[in-house]
Structure 1
């Protein structure tokens, strides 16, 4: 379960990095259009098309990152819930073991007391 959570977190990190890269490209393209510093062989129309494509890519990655974040949160809740169940089960096993140990000690002590009382009673009869 934790491995799945870590994988989902890694995927979210990758999506955020991809979003960052696309935003940087978008910034570069806007700057190139605004300052008329077009790369060699590029026209303002081709830059505008790239900008449109990049903007769509940013939005798509943001949507995917949002879904991935929801998945990470859900898996995190599941992991915490399972950890809580495991802690409760461990505590219950410990309580059971302590109760058995106490019962064994009580029975052992009671057995000694019975033998001592029985031996004393037989000794007084003779």
Structure 2
């Protein structure tokens, strides 16, 4: 942030800011669910895939690579036969996941209001979940 050393301030609203990519990794569907799942404790790839219901093997792999590159997830490969790979959150990843879980809990807790709003919208707009503008 500005004022701390000579590093530039980061501004996610600027198209050139590298924080945009990290925000996308963290707030995308699979990134947020992966971080939330790992907050409960480290696990192996297939355990994580079962926990994050609906994610493909390819998408989970891409998500884990992006989160590892951003310093949010630590990958540890054990030299066993077959190889064992464990994933866990870094301290930074725990901070981010904690905030995401607050948002997830808020959304889950307010779903009756969301569903009622959707129903009202669909009645007025004459179509169920048109999805666009």
| Structure-2-length-normalised TM-score | 0.28
| Structure-1-length-normalised TM-score | 0.29
Specify which structure has the higher proportion of strand. 2
Specify which structure has the higher proportion of helix. 1
The structure showing larger relative contact order (alpha-carbon pairs under 8 Å, at least 6 residues apart) is 1
